[in-house]
Amino acid sequence: MSETFKNYIDGQWVEARTAKTFENRNPADHHDLIGVFPVSGAEEVLQAVQAAKNAFARWRLVPAPKRGEILYRVGDLLRKHKEEIAQGMTREMGKILKETRGDVQEGIDTAFYVSGEGRRLFGQTTPSELPDKFAMSVRAPIGVCALITPWNFPMAIPTWKMFPALLCGNTVVFKPAEDTPHTAVKLVEILTEAGVPPGVVNLIHGRGEEAGAALVRHPDVQLVSFTGSAAVGREIASVCGQNLKRVSLELGGKNAQIVMEDADLSLALEGVLWGAFGTTGQRCTATSRLILHRDIKQRLTELLVARTEKIKIGDGLDESTEMGPLINQAAREKVHRYVQIGKAEGARLLIGGAILDEGKWANGYFYRPTIFDQVTPSMRIAQEEIFGPVLSIIEVKSFEQAIDVLNSTAYGLSSSIYTRDVGRAFRAMRDIEAGITYVNGPTIGAEVHLPFGGVKDTGNGHREAGTTVYDIFSEWKSIYVDYSGKLQKAQIDNAE
């Protein structure tokens, strides 16, 4: 008998008013039913936002160091339940245990890092232009924040958003992806156990076009933080713009790894394997383009194909598995559709390009890791985000051409260059149009204390993680204290 789950509103697990539900199934074995979750709508959103609005009046007055102490306890509890959460996450969304353990660890790291900011939520003091006057700036909370998160990092990404939001004194309505609602339940259970008061965090299950849209449009939601596709991000930005609502968008990527002729090829090989096929290519930072200098292209391509043939595909709960399934049937169909597009465009299929649906793969959404050669920069498979294990090889004849090709897409999230030339490395850091650049490392693997985000269609200029995230979740307030005992007029000509 499968378990039936509820929403979490104002400190209580409550049933949705609608009778509609959706199933959460294991993508490695769709016969494995994890649970049944409510399809929430506008009524549930109204309840959750009202609870968050009521709780904000109290939560904003809790000293930031005390809010940080609660988040520290959250980190301790995440560490205690790390293996349990990782096992459940692999069952829920398919990526291998090494990766889901890393996903939980990202949440742990974020909790500990953010908790310390409770004593470092710095403003500025500055001299006033007038005598006997004090000037400073402080951070203030915004209010109710809607957090709409994806399925590929069901612990890391919600914690990147939620923990800074809470530390700043905001309250939250959390709408996780339909494919990973169970991990969201575990996170909220831990937040509650750690001492987050009722109403401060509210969990709404449901579909983006229903619950998500209602959240974005609710007048009492002051901020929307969304991670997902560029198409949906544009819709959210449009709605928020009409209502002068703050919005933070972390959207797609079409990331590239450059390998120059002087690179360590063994290192570059391991980097592209991890970048292209880690999480089955289902990362916004995944390596989907491999830009190779013509002098080493044939050699590295041969090594890459030989190693890709040996990737073990299967259930991520098996410790020996190297690549799990795609998240669902629609994702697999999309990947396969792009493979057909690549063939039609004239790219040469070197390996993969096939659905795995027999034997041990019969009940899951598995796909062979796929590599195309003879790809040109203008092809759709080199321009559009596929979000699967598909890699396009593009040949270049110079460093300058490599940079031009890397910059030739609408996205600008992550990037990578392998070279032993320090001059090239620094020119790449300067000239690459991306929010993240790796030198002699793959395009994936962010750290929580550095800003995360990109340029162009990858987002709207905000950065998660690091210290920059507090510019999303707080308002700046300038404060002046005049102790002169007389009227002093600023912003007029005081010169004598």
- To the query of whether residue 284 is one of the catalytic residues in this protein, the response is yes
246 vs 211: CA distance, rounded Å: 19
Determine the pLDDT at residue 493: 61
**466 plus 431 within the same structural domain:** no
Task: For residue 425, tell me if it sits in a domain.
Answer: yes
Full residue range of the structural domain in which residue 291 is found: 255-439
pLDDT score at 17: 85
Same domain flag for 304 and 179: no
The whole-angstrom separation of Cα 223 and Cα 464 is 14
* Same domain (yes/no): 298, 235: no
For residue 484, is it within any domain? Answer: no
For residue 11, is it within any domain? Answer: yes
Same-domain check for residues 246 and 265:
no
Among the listed residues 145, 168, 240, 284, the single catalytic one is 284
Q: Do 405 and 434 fall within a single domain?
A: yes
Instruction: Supply the pLDDT for residue 440.
Output: 98
Note whether residue 495 is domain-resident.
no
What is the CATH classification number for the domain harbouring 357?
3.40.309.10
Please indicate, yes or no, whether residues 234 and 299 belong to a single structural domain of this protein: no
The answer to whether residue 145 is catalytic is: no
Of these residues, 250, 322, 395, 464, which one is catalytic? Answer: 250
What pLDDT sits at residue 16? Answer: 86
Residue 446 placed within a domain: no
Do 145 and 222 sit in the same domain of this protein? yes
Are 279 and 220 contained in the same domain? Answer: no
Predicted pLDDT of residue 491: 73
| 492, part of any domain | no
- Each residue's pLDDT tens digit in the chain (496 positions)? 579 999 999 999 999 888 899 999 999 999 999 999 999 999 999 999 999 999 999 999 999 999 999 999 999 999 999 999 999 999 999 999 999 999 999 999 999 999 999 999 999 999 999 999 999 999 999 999 999 999 999 999 999 999 999 999 999 999 999 999 999 999 999 999 999 999 999 999 999 999 999 999 999 999 999 999 999 999 999 999 999 999 999 999 999 999 999 999 999 999 999 999 999 999 999 999 999 999 999 999 999 999 999 999 999 999 999 999 999 999 999 999 999 999 999 999 999 999 999 999 999 999 999 999 999 999 999 999 999 999 999 999 999 999 999 999 999 999 999 999 999 999 999 999 999 999 999 999 999 999 999 999 999 999 999 999 999 999 999 999 999 999 998 877 655 5
Asked if the structure places residue 99 within a domain, the reply is yes
d(CA 380, CA 345): 8
CATH number for position 12 = 3.40.605.10
Same domain, 392 and 307: yes
Domains of the chain: total:
2
The reported pTM is 0.96
Residues 276 and 407 in one domain: yes
**pLDDT of the residue at 495:** 58
**Residue 246 falls inside a structural domain:** yes
141 with 212, same domain: the answer is yes
- Same domain membership, residue 474 and residue 379: no
Q: Rounded to whole angstroms, how far apart are CA atoms 388 and 386?
A: 6
